[in-house]
Amino acid sequence: MRLLFLGDVVGRPGRSVVSRLLPGLRSAWQLDCVVVNGENAAHGFGITESIYENLLAAGADVVTLGNHTFDQREALVFIERQPRLLRPVNFPAGTPGRGATIIEAKNGARVLVVNVMGRLFMDALDDPFAAMARTIGECPLREGCDAILVDMHAEATSEKQALAHFLDGRVSVVVGTHTHVPTADVRLLPGGTAYQSDAGMCGDYQSVLGMQPDESIRRFVEKTPGSRLEVATGEGTLSGLAVEIDDATGLAVKVAAVRLGPHLAEARPAFWEEAAA
């Protein structure tokens, strides 16, 4: 099974590069399942229902979120009627929406997708480790589903790596989001879980995390109230993780970074490019 994950889509540059490239990648790489983090898709803050639907139309099967889940207040309502839109599973009990879902991939496999948020340098939420143990306990790999992807939305690489090792061999992929910067630690863990501390963002990298630098610089230099952060307007780069999963075990066998766009060194999964050539 071939799975592609794309990191935080930031504003229009992010949405544009996803809608421009993802349909072609879905067919060229014969993808079975695509998961996209959309927490910054609406002007950098949250997601609207029409943006969510456009991400699905571009080829996403599931859209995950994070700390910006409800920045667009309409998400409080439409998240309830969109089963493929996930907010962190460890948000407090009673929060609208869901943190996990099972979808049928193109190859017929049942894929459990989970969005979970870290607590280091972030909001105080329920324990992400306990939440993950409970979630995969209810739907274990090879029993309840054929593959499991976990989007770990967190600031600290230590917390992300600890969660990944905690889940190693029990899920197919743990991929980090939230920092908007892709890390160079793409690898298979000993138990067969594919891992990357952060997938990076889909957005304009000539920026501060996808936003125009001026206001960001000002906030570091001055301690006075300023203006709103505005999304950078240059061309977006697509950034994410490509994972090939063994159909029998549900564990990862190949993993590679994906970076396509003007500002970062290009990265493509050679194992799919060669098969397509």
Q: Which is nearer to Fe ion, 141 or 149 (CB)?
A: 149
Nearest one of 92, 99, 105 to 61, comparing CA atoms: 105
Q: Which residues contact 147 (CB under 8 A, 6 or more apart)?
A: 1, 3, 33, 105, 109, 110, 111, 112, 141, 172, 173, 245, 250
Residue 250 touches Fe ion, criterion: CB under 5 A: no
Q: How far is CA 42 from the centre of its chain?
A: 16
Active site residue 180: no
Q: Phi and psi of 239, rounded to 5°?
A: -140, 135
Q: How big is the CA angle at 59 (ends 132 and 10), to the nearest 5 degrees?
A: 70
Closer residue to Fe ion in complex, CB, 15/178: 178
Is 159 a binding residue for Fe ion by CB under 5 A? The answer is no
What is the Cα–Cα distance from 230 to 248, expressed in whole angstroms? Answer: 46
8 binds Fe ion (CB under 5 A): yes
- Sheet with 252-260, side-by-side order of all strands: 85-86, 62-64, 33-37, 2-6, 238-245, 252-260
Over the Cα atoms of the chain, what is R_g?
17
Among 11, 35, 40, 245, binds Fe ion (CB under 5 A): 40
> Locate tokens 């594919």: which residue?
194
Under rule CB under 5 A, residue 38 binds Fe ion = no
Q: Report the residue number, 98 or 153, with the smaller CB distance to Fe ion.
A: 153
Residues 41-70 that bind Fe ion (CB under 5 A): 66-67
The reply on whether position 207 binds Fe ion by CB under 5 A is no
Task: Decide whether 39 or 146 has the Cβ nearer to Fe ion.
Answer: 39
Q: Among the options 43, 68, 153, 178, which is catalytic?
A: 68
Q: How far is the CB of 178 from Fe ion (least distance, A)?
A: 4
Does position 178 interact with Fe ion (CB under 5 A)? The reply is yes
**What whole-number distance in Å separates Cα of residue 256 and Cα of residue 240?**
9
- Smaller CB distance to Fe ion: residue 3 or 201? 201
- 179 is a site residue for Fe ion (CB under 5 A): no
Tell me which stretch binds Fe ion (CB under 5 A): 133-141, 177-185, 212-220, 255-263: 177-185
CA dihedral 135, 87, 58, 105 (to 10 degrees): 10
Cβ burial, residue 254 (10 Å; 0-12/13-18/19+): middle
Query: Which sequence positions are flagged as catalytic?
Result: 68
Task: Point out which residues bind Fe ion (CB under 5 A).
Answer: 8, 39-40, 66-67, 178
